[in-house]
Structures are given as C-alpha cells and as structure tokens.
Structure 1
Amino acid sequence: MESKNRYVRYYDLDWIRVLAMLMVFLYHCSMFFNSFEWHIKNNIINHSYIEVFSLLVGNWIMPLFFVISGISTYHALNKRNSQSFMKERFLRLGLPLLLGIFLLSPPQVYIERVTNNQFDGSFLKFFPHYFDGLYLEMGGTGNFAFFGHHLWYLLMLLLFSVATLPFFIKLRKKVEHRVFGAFHYFFLPIPLLAVALTVNTIVNLASWGILFYLLLYVYGYFFFAKESLREFVRRIGVLSGCLSAITTVGYLLWVMFNGFPMHVSLNWVLFMILRVVLVWNVLFFILYLGDKFLNFSNGTLKYTSQASMPFYVLHQPIIIILGFFIYNLDWAVPVKVVFLVPLTFLMIMFLYHFIIRKVNLLRVLFGLKSVKKNEISKGIQPQA
C-alpha cells in the first residue's frame, strides 16, 4: 500500500504466493495417481489419501492465485505507469508462456498421446504433428497447446491485465478510499455464485470458468488490496476458518458419497453454493493466517520468491516426463510417490539454482529480470 507516499511491502503475500506454488506442485503430483482426468495416469489409482488431497486443494488453489494477482496488480500500478506495467506483463508472462508453448508442451502432448494409444513412435517423429490442430481437451485429437498446458494461468493473467487496465485506472480513485466491511464480505460472493451457476462452462479451467477467475482478479485489485481488508480479516479470520472447515468437510462427504453432480438440478445448485462459500472463506482464512504469521522477510523468502516462476514453468513437464518412466512399473503407490515428488522437486531446483538463474537469457525466458554477472556471483537477487 501507499502510506504517506511511501510504498509498504507486505511480505505475507510473497509467502502465500510461494507456498501456493508449492501446493500446485503437490497437487499436480497427486493428479498422476488420482482418478481424475489428466495427461498421464499411474497404472494403480489411489482413491483414498491422494484423492482426498486433490479434492482439498483443487477447489481454491487457482482462485487464490487470481486474487493474489489482483492485489499484485494494485501494488504494481502504485509503482509504475500503465505503459511500463504492460511492458513488464508481456515480458514476465508472455515469454515464459511462449517457452511453454513451443518447448515444454510438445513432450507433454507426446506422452499423453503415447500413453492413450493415440500415437506410436518416437518423440522426433511426433514433433511435426505437434502443430496438427488445436489442443482443446485431454484425449482429443488436436496437438498444438496454444495455452501452454499448465501455463494457461499466465495466458489468462496476461489477457486479464490487458482487458482490465483502462477499467482499473478509470475507477480506482472512486473506490480506493472505501472501507471493506461486513457488507462486502456477504455481498461479493453473490456475483461469484451467479457466474458459477450460469457461465462456469465457458473456458472451464481447473474446475472454474474464466469469468469466475476474472471476477476474483478484479476483487483482488479493488477490495483485497485494501488496508481495511487486512483489519477486517483479523476480526473475521477465526470465523472464516471455521466456515472453511465445515464447508470442506461437507464438500468431501458430498463427493465421496454422491460424486459430482453432472446435470443442472437442485443438487447441482446446492453443490455449487457449497463450493463458492468454501472458496470465499478459504481465501479469507489464508489471508488471515498470512497476516498473523507470515509478515516477515528472510533469505529463504527472497530466494524462493525469485525461484517461484521458473519452478511453476518447469514443474508439470518434469512430473509428466518422470511419470512416463514409472507409470507402468509394478511399484506400490507410496513407493512411486516417494520417487516422483522429491526427485521432481530436486530436478527443478537444480535447473534453477545452477543454470537458469545464472544465465541472463534463461532468466528472461523464465520470467525473471536480467542481472549483472557480478550480482549473480555474489548471490544478489533483484527485487521482484
């Protein structure tokens, strides 16, 4: 925020972003083992602890990212004008997205085609076919992943940034001094629910529609970035935690005993209400925990904040590639978990620490700022 014309950095948002990135990594590892549709599946499906973890995280993890992105946009526009903001957006989102589309997505599509018996041959033979049709869904026939597979978040954030910037600039002064209170807490979920009940199937990504994410991004900018919201979550934090726990238990029991409602009905409406209430309260509870316990900085935060974008860009391709080598092996699920999760993590961090962060071209391609050679040798990390 700006206080007496001085920008104040809230480190809890950086911690939340880093921890959320780690959660996305674990979530995508779980997708290899659970029963939900994904690019490659283990030969043994786990319907117990891994599936429960996937259900616990899958509802709120991407909504959290879009709210944090809206907050970050507010802070970014406090520090730079709209032209420099969009230049930074295109560099730090667009370049990693292009890297994902043309370098990291082809092996993922290839592995999906091979494991689903849609292609027989080497990756070199497949690569020319990567440009055959648009990849629109898992198990489909098009191959060109124009959204970068898991990097769809970068594409959506880039599009949202372009579409909302004039709106943000024009209306900001009219709302920035309004205080966040109980009215907002109870009223703002209503548009989210309306979107979830009507247009959630329009570009549905990670179980929520693009307009749902757009609304959360706008909320992040106009409401969640306010100092008054911090004061509000300190009062509402325990209640939101209790509501998060209740709705999460209700959601898990519903899915475990009744499955996902597939058609519009009263059950489907009630299920969507439950999900929206769950997401809304989890967002407040996470912000409450961050404000209470994570508003500090140290060397770990500085390092991991820089590593988070390369980590995000690399994590799914490496999970899928390693999964390809073990998916048909006769290993127990816990053994494969112990193999897949630590090895993927170590490979990503090795690539980041010893290669990406030390080569300016790679830094820029992975969404980082370039640095001088002496800064790299001294271990200096530029500010995000």
Structure 2
Amino acid sequence: MADESRERYDFLDWLRVIAIFVLFFFHTGMIFVGWGWHIVNNETIPELVWPMDIAHRLRMPLLFVIAGAGMWFALRRRSVGCFLKERTVKLLLPLIVGMFLVVPPQIYYERLLRGQWTGGYLDFYVTRVLHFVPYPAGDFSWHHLWFILYLYVYVLLLLPAMLWWKRRGPNLAPGKWIFLLGFPLGINEMLLKSIYPEAHTLFSDWYIFNHYLMLTIYGYVMASMPGIWKWLCEVRRWSLIGGTVLLVLLIYGLNTGVVPHDSPVDHIGANVFTWLFAMVFLGYGYRYLSFMNPLLAWAREASYPFYILHQTVIVTIGYYVIQRPWTPWTKYAVVLTGSLLACFVLYDGCVRRFAVLRLIFGMKVRTPPRATVCVPVPSRGDDMA
C-alpha cells in the first residue's frame, strides 16, 4: 500500500475537486428551480428540484469537512505564525480582491435583469459598488465567497482549540459514535433555522455559521485520529445503506405530508442523512481515490480559482442565455457548458500564468526558494483550507 499521508491527501483532493465541479451543475440549476436567485429563467425545470435539494445538503458540508482536515495537516507541519500568514494570503486576500473584482458583475447583471439599472458597467461600479452599501440594499457583497470568509473566521476562532488539540495528541479512536455526529447538526437546525434562516451574512446567520463550524471541527478532529480513513472505508457500506434508506424515507414522508416540512423530524433526518453521506464520500474516496495522476495534479491547483470564478461566469453567461427563445433544458446545457469552458480559458490562459493573478486567486506563487521558509517540505493537502 502507498504511503498513508500520500493516500490521505490524494483522496481528499479528489473529493474537493469533485465537490467544486458539482457546484457548476448546482449554481446553473439555481437559474431554473424558482427558488429565487440573482438571475432566474421564466420557465423552471421541475425535475431539478429534488436533485438540487439533495446536492444542497451534500456539497458544502463535504467541503468544510475537508477544509477542517486540511487545517490539521497544515498545523502539523507549520508554526502558528506561518499557518496564520498562509491562511491570510490564501483566504483573506482572494476574498477582498473578489469582493472588488469578481462579485460586482453578478450584482450588475441582477440589477439589469430586474430593471434596477440601465447604464453601463463602469458607471455602475463607480456610482453603486464603490459606495460600499451592503447587498441587497446596496451593491457591495461577498456573494458566493462567503465560503472563504467563513473559513477564515473559523481559522481565527478555532486556532486556540486546534492548538490545544494538537498538543493533547491524536489519541481519540474512531468508533460507532461517529455515526451520531449528524444529530448535533440537526439540533442546531431545529433550534436556529426559523430564527436565523440561511443568509451567509456572517452576523445574524447563526444557524449556518454553527452548522459549518461543527463540520469544520469534525474534519479537524477526525483527521487527527489514527486509522480514521481506514475505519471510514470499512463502514462505508453501512453508511451508504443508512444514508440511502433515510433519504428514501424523508422524500416519501415529505411528499406525502407524513413528515411536515421544517419539522423536527425533517431537520434531524436531513442532517443525519448529510453526515452519513459525508462518511460515504470519505470512505469510498479513501478506497477508490487514493492515487495521483496528471488530471488531479492539474485540477487540485485549478479548483480554488474555479470556485472563485464560477458563479460570476454562470451569472454573466446566464443573463444572456435566458433571454433566448430556447427550451429550459437547452439553456441549462448552454450555461453549464459555457461556464465550464469560460472558467477553463480564464484559468489556464490567464490566472495560472501570472504571479500576481496566482497570488490573488489563492494559488502558490512559483518563486525561487528564499533563505527562510515557513514550510520546509511541500506536501499534498495544503490547498484544502
């Protein structure tokens, strides 16, 4: 068997790349499900509702668990100062640059579509964006970059506890209790969702803030546990059976009214399902994705810039596509394909080739080694948080 640390980083990198790839399908779908988004098509695609609802429960939780694991691997190899410096460059810098350069086109096209602006983009940027009035009342926002913001806040908030756990030593053994970690997530949703609905505003977003904070902690603690990945692999079939049965029961219950929407059973059941499938992904990922190849070598580096760019590209292309007299499925296919191609061109043609763009998109800048470095040995997994 290959070196354990190499397996660990490779399969988590694969899962992170896949999760970000799925975001293209999800955010393209947001145009066509009638949930209310930055741009929406006049006709919906009803067949997307359940897949979108399931994807909403699975995509971001997995990314936060992987990010938490990445924090463990990074702190294991770095001093506190180097860890904070690296996370600030990797998270805070792309967030700030993104709020000024990446996100504003999304708001511009939303205002155009809703008849709230009729001028050009430059005038919009100067007279609206640079007034720094928070969205939605104004036109300054982090939009999909909330993920980066929350991760950075979690780093600052959890650092003392993470250091304590690191000193304490990885002596917690995996066991059946891990199956129960979905219940705290469900209790959090049951108590807070109706009071603080999902908003990604940081301040007054306690349901979502706590939800992803717990998942980040889960990832950090689990990564510290000897044998955790092998254990998750061993129980992967039980996780899959339990998660699938629960999903079928929830869909049946919600569709028939046996389980009321937003009831305690809905909240608890949905979060247990979320956690069981996080275990499924980790277990099957360890079993089948513990390898490196040229595709992962490229995609691992590309995934973060793709994440930063993807929603703006989808909104921009979507604005023009939804005005065409095409069927909803044709529009979906055009937006999805066009967005993937556009992000590929932007990344491979621009971002990865210039040091300043690599820096502001959270990538490692390829420079000759200096006399002092924070990381003595580069390692896989450093891009996970």
1:327 matches 2:322: yes
Residue of structure 2 in register with 1:124 after alignment: 122
- Aligned partner of 1:247: which letter? L
Say yes or no: does 1:161 pair with 2:155.
yes
1:314-336 deviation digits (Å, cap 9, x = unpaired) = 10000000011111221001211
Paired letter, 2:321: I
Among residues 166, 191, 209, which one is paired with 1:198 in the alignment?
Answer: 191
Aligned match of 1:96: 94
Identify which of structures 1 and 2 has the higher relative contact order when contacts are C-alpha pairs closer than 8 Å and 6+ apart: 2
**How far apart, in 2, do the equivalents of 1:260 and 1:19 lie?**
32
Deviations 1:64-111 (A, max 9, x none): 111110100000011111110111101111121112100111111111
> Which residue in 2 is equivalent to 1:184?
178
Provide the C-alpha distance between the structure 2 equivalents of 1:53 and 1:213, rounded to a whole number of angstroms. 21
Pairing 1:22-33 to 2, within 5 Å after superposition: 22-33=21-32
Following superposition, the deviation at residue 8 of structure 1 comes to 4.6
Letter in 2 for 1:55: D
Partner of 1:276: 271
Identify the match of residue 295 of structure 2 among 282, 295, 300.
Answer: 300
Map 1:182-261 → 2, pairs under 5 A? 182-186=176-180, 188-200=181-193, 201-202=195-196, 204-205=198-199, 209-256=208-255
- Identify the range of structure 1 (172-181 vs 96-105) with the bigger mean alpha-carbon deviation: 172-181
Cα deviation for residue 9 of structure 1 reads 5.1
Residue identity matched to 1:191 = P
Rate the CA distance shift 1:37–1:258 in 2: closer, same or farther, 3 A.
farther
* Other structure's SS at 1:209 match: helix
d(CA) in 1 for partners of 2:6 and 2:247?
34
Aligned equivalents of 2:131, 2:260: Cα separation in 1: 34
2-structure distance, mates of 1:273, 1:177:
29
The CA deviation at 1:132 is: 4.4
Out of 140, 144, 154, the residue aligned to residue 150 of structure 1 is 144
User: Structure 2: which amino acid aligns with 1:177?
Assistant: N
- Paired with 1:28 and 1:15, the residues of 2 have a C-alpha distance of 20
Residue 174 (structure 1) shift: 2.9
Cα deviation for residue 260 of structure 1 reads: 10
* Cα separation, 1, equivalents of 2:361 and 2:67: 18
Aligned residues of 1:43 and 1:328 also touching (Cα < 8 A): no
Identity %: 27
Q: Residue 261 of structure 1: CA displacement?
A: 5.8
Where do 1:280-291 residues align within 5 Å? 280-291=275-286
> 1-side partners of 2:63 and 2:35: how far apart?
22
Summarize the Cα distance change of 1:346–1:257 in structure 2 as closer, same or farther, 3 Å threshold: farther
**Residue number in structure 2 paired with 1:46:** 45
Do the aligned partners of residues 334 and 189 (structure 1) sit closer, same or farther apart at CA in structure 2, a change above 3 Å counting? Answer: closer
Whole-Å separation in 2 of the counterparts to 1:190 and 1:173: 28
1:309 equivalenced with 2:304 (yes/no): yes
CA contact (8 A) 1:133 1:141 kept: no
Amino acid at match of 1:99: V
CA distance in 2, matches of 1:45, 1:70: 36
Distance 2:327 2:274 in 1: 34
Change (3 A) 1:250 1:135: farther
User: Does structure 1 retain, via aligned residues, the 8 Å contact 2:170–2:226?
Assistant: no
C-alpha contact 1:100 1:151 (8 A) present in aligned 2: yes
Scaled by the length of structure 2, the TM-score of the pair is 0.87
Instruction: Determine if contact 2:183/2:271 at 8 Å carries over to the other structure.
Output: no
Mapped to 1, the partners of 2:26 and 2:218 lie a distance apart of 25
